[in-house]
Amino acid sequence: MTRPPGGAAGSILLTGGGGRLGRELLRLLPGLVAPSRAELDLTRPASVGRAFGFHRPAVVVHAAAFTDVARAERDREECWAVNVRGTAAVVREAARHGCALIHISTDYVFHGSRGYYREDEPPGPVRNYYALSKLAAEEVARLAPRHLVIRTSFRPRDWPHPVAFVDLYTSQDYVDVVAPDIALAIVKWRQIPYDTLHIATERKTAFELARRRRPDVRPGRRSEAAVDLPEDISLDIARWRGLKAGWLGEEGPG
């Protein structure tokens, strides 16, 4: 555990600090307090309570989740226990400690047939069990007295596949591109006048995204995939662009 001596009241607690996004956030915001899973296990509510009691955070960034989409279909109990009941445990402790919750969610809460989804549109119908659990987790997160739901989408730093689809549109980007924006939102959360925010980049095909880091990637089509993939899961990111432009304007030139 990254533990300030005695637990500094007013800290920012991060769940999932060992994950892809969590590691980037810790690099960008080294002051975050990130208990390991052994110290804060979402499936053991008492351990969540102990971590909150020790650190007395002012804000919790809840990035931990069961994220294996294929395994979620088989291991539904575990996926639900981590994503939904685990989020409920975090919400309970956040409420008890007067702590604000920044909940990390996903573009997968949308069906992905039309694209440019806005924050205030109704989500669903979801395509898989992981998405169902993350949608339920969002609604649980909204029970926290002070909350911000950030919907995002990212890939590891390098495109991991030899093929990328030309008929799949997305706003996702590489984790090292998206994480700095999420870190900015964490730092500025008090100045965000919304309870839901999409943080991603412009709409593009998965193939276009893949080529940026893997020039030899081959074009493929969604019909080749073993799972049901959305055709256009892109997010409307106007809210986030507006906030960022406003903050940069405040800083003034140079």
**Active-site residue set:** 130
For ligand NAP, which is the closer residue by CB, 21 or 243? 21
**In the set 152, 170, 171, 201, which binds ligand NAP (CB under 6 A)?**
152
Residue nearest to ligand NAP (CB): 19
Residue with tokens 């607690």: 13
> How far, in Å, are 118, 170, 207, 222, 225 from residue 230 at the CA level?
16, 9, 14, 8, 11
How big is the site for ligand NAP, counted in residues (CB under 6 A)? 25
Whether the bond into 125 is cis, omega within 30 of 0: yes
For ligand NAP, which is the closer residue by CB, 86 or 220? 86
What is the C-alpha separation between 21 and 65, in angstroms, rounded? 11
Please report whether residue 71 would count as binding ligand NAP according to CB under 6 A.
no
Q: Residues 153, 171: contact at Cβ < 8 Å?
A: yes
**In the set 11, 29, 55, 66, which binds ligand NAP (CB under 6 A)?**
66
Q: How far is the CB of 154 from ligand NAP (least distance, A)?
A: 5
User: Which positions from 2 through 31 interact with ligand NAP, judged by CB under 6 A?
Assistant: 15-16, 18-22
Q: Residues 52, 99: contact at Cβ < 8 Å?
A: yes
Q: Determine the Cα angle at 186 with ends 183 and 190, to 5°.
A: 150
User: Which positions from 92 through 111 interact with ligand NAP, judged by CB under 6 A?
Assistant: 104, 106
Binding residues for ligand NAP (CB under 6 A):
15-16, 18-22, 37, 40-43, 63-67, 82, 86, 104, 106, 134, 152-154
